[in-house]
Chain A
Amino acid sequence: MKKCPKCRAEIQENARFCLYCMTSFEEKQEIKTKKENNKRWLIFVAAVLVFVVIIFSVFAIALNNKTGNSSNTTDYSPVISSENDCVASNGDKMSSQQNKENNKTESNKETLFTSTSSTKGSSLDNNSNVNTTSINTTDDEKSNVTSPKSGEVSKNSSKGSATSDNKTNNTDFDASLTTSTASLSSTPTQTVAVSYIYRDAKYGDDFSVGANLENSVVITGVKTASANGEYIIPDTLGGKKVIAVMGLAFCDEKISKTVKKVVVPSSVKNIWDNAFASCYNLTDIYFCGNSIYTEVNAFAEKSKRNGTLIIHCSANCSDRNYRYYKNSASNYGAKYEEWNG
């Protein structure tokens, strides 16, 4: 018999456990079992952390973009919020001034312009014989004639379009109006102010990889309809060059019904898929530039359109794939008319 070291009770000689105080005398090998939930918790916590980081970075990028836009820095990351805020208009005052000018002066451009407005595209080809030299002279005239008026116009129109974000760019904005006025003089009339929705151009908007897209915008929509259905796309909006007409830009239900004639400035290099897809009344489109790429399905299908679509462009006008409209107009289910815009 021996004594328990703890309770001093008498126990069996070979006992490893005291029956009285329930104490074990021998050390046992402890086997630790895996806590199954530990790993799961870690994974869960890690997933939550990653999620939070993603949310934060998205917010940070969005915030950065907002501040970036106001300070006019170029950022190509997609931010949709700013897109709809940018609305510029080329005012109706301009067109009325234009009408007055048309009555008074007799430059080649203006003849073309009046004939278009009066006959609505039916006799455009009669005037298409206008030579290029005359255009050059009118360009000079335009800048002379319109620049003094532009200041006055810009004041009125900037009041009208209070949605414009680019308050810091007043001078640029004036300049854009000047050029809009310039393009007006070379094309069909636009009797009511047309507001365009646009955004900064970003990578890929012009199909070319690595092109410098700073100070460029793309038209993504039309806000107000033109009363006579004639749309003159300005070559600058908010002081930035308009380089493309994006998909569905003219497909707003209220707008697309009204579109009959569209003048595309030389700055626009691309017309994206479905840009005019629901403009069934579109009969004439004028390309001012010599290099433009139009997606095959940019216009409404032939069967849906009311009347023939006539593509007016110069004999030298080609798209990126070096296909002349002359030869490829049928791809669009359209007719080609030579025109010196």
Chain B
Amino acid sequence: MTVEEYLTEIFKVYSLVSVLSDKNDCRVLKLKNKKYDKYIVLRQFSKPLSAYEELYSIKCENLPLIYDVINLDDGQIVLEEFIEGLTIDEVMETGKYRYMGTRRVLRSVCQALTVLHNRGIVHRDVKPENIVIGKDGRVVLIDFNAARKISAANRDTTIMGTVGYASPEQLGVAQSDARTDIYAVGVLLNVMVTGKHPSEKLAKGKAGRIVRKCTSVNPDERYKSVEKLASAL
């Protein structure tokens, strides 16, 4: 079955609400079940991603539920839970976060990353747009399009992630690992507290110290694990 055929099947039951993102190799749609009035996120990839298959088997408060991963002849379709809420990016349009609020959000992010790292997955795209605060207060890390399994390869072959949040090694300097996400969490912390990238304005006090450690150019100088970062927060 091709992607086209599968989508035709799906649209018999679901109606398209909006296109969340549309890039060359990835399209994200928000669909609504015509009968049950429930929302679902459909991700369409031109190449299969192993991270979603890995995530399918787990259920975690800080990660979206993956309903199904369908490998088709010309690509992959992922059906994912839609989380009703606002992204950090949208929340920050109204103002900056206080350190206490930031800490709460980032601890949840760290928990999500712990689950991923324990399964050998690096998210590689931790940023305000990819963290959703649910209506029920649930903090969920979404979008595993850039995620990859940690491998023994010497360096990242393709440049993935978002400039500013991507660590030096992610941009081809060295191999990505758990510390890549720690770098991004550090930047995220600074952005949430100050509204600016650490290179522009570093957060003051404890937050600043954590950011500086997270964003060390040398991965060895960063926190050794997300758990360590979470306890530092």
Contacts and interface: CB of A to CB of B under 8 A. Distances in A.
A15 B60 CA distance: 22
Contacts of B135: none
Contact of B57 (A15, A29, A33): A29
Contact of B67 (A20, A22, A34): A22
A31 B33 CA distance: 28
Interface in A21-39: 21-22, 24, 26, 28-34, 36
Interface stretch (B35-43, B145-153, B165-173, B216-224): B35-43
Given A28-B57, A33-B60, A22 B40 contact: yes
A17 B68 contact: yes
Contacts of B57: 26, 28-29
B79 interface: yes
A17 B14 CA distance: 14
A196 B56 CA distance: 86
A33 B111 contact: yes
A31 B116 CA distance: 11
B232 interface: no
A30 B14 CA distance: 28
Contacts of A24: 67-68
Contact of A19 (B13, B59, B104, B111): B13
A16 interface: yes
Nearest to A28: B59
Interface in A100-147: none
Contacts of B79: 17, 19
B111 A34 contact: yes
Chain B interface, DSSP helix/strand/loop, else mixed: mixed
B176 interface: no
Contacts of B163: none
A207 B36 CA distance: 87
A26 B58 CA distance: 11
A21 B40 CA distance: 12
Given A21-B36, A34-B111, A29 B62 contact: no
A15 B68 CA distance: 7
A15 B77 CA distance: 12
B29 interface: no
B61 A33 contact: yes
Contact of A36 (B10, B59, B60, B104): B104
Contacts of A31: 58-60, 115
Contacts of B108: 33
Interface residues of B, number: 27
Contacts of B33: 22
A20 B34 CA distance: 9
A150 B42 CA distance: 106
A17 B59 contact: no
A212 to B, nearest CB: 57
Among A14, A16, A32, max chain B CB count under 10 A is at A16
A211 B58 CA distance: 74
Contacts of B124: none
Contacts of A34: 111
Contacts of A22: 33, 36, 38, 40, 67
Contacts of B123: none
B107 interface: yes
Contacts of B38: 22
A24 B67 CA distance: 7
A32 B68 CA distance: 21
Interface string B38-69: 10100000000000000011111110010110
A33 B68 contact: no
A33 B59 contact: no
A33 B108 CA distance: 8
A64 B49 CA distance: 75
Interface string B164-201: 00000000000000000000000000000000000000
Contacts of A12: 1, 70
A16 B111 contact: no
B67 A17 contact: yes
Contacts of A16: 56, 67-68
B10 A19 contact: yes
A29 B79 CA distance: 18
Contacts of B10: 19
A20 B62 contact: no
Interface of A: 12, 14-17, 19-22, 24, 26, 28-34, 36
Interface of B: 1, 9-10, 13-14, 33, 35-36, 38, 40, 56-62, 65, 67-68, 70, 79, 104, 107-108, 111, 115
21 contacts: A14-B70, A15-B70, A16-B56, A17-B67, A19-B10, A19-B14, A19-B79, A20-B13, A21-B35, A22-B33, A22-B38, A22-B67, A24-B68, A28-B56, A28-B59, A30-B59, A30-B60, A31-B59, A33-B60, A33-B108, A34-B111
Given A26-B57, A33-B62, 6 more contacts: A19-B10, A19-B14, A21-B35, A22-B36, A28-B65, A31-B58
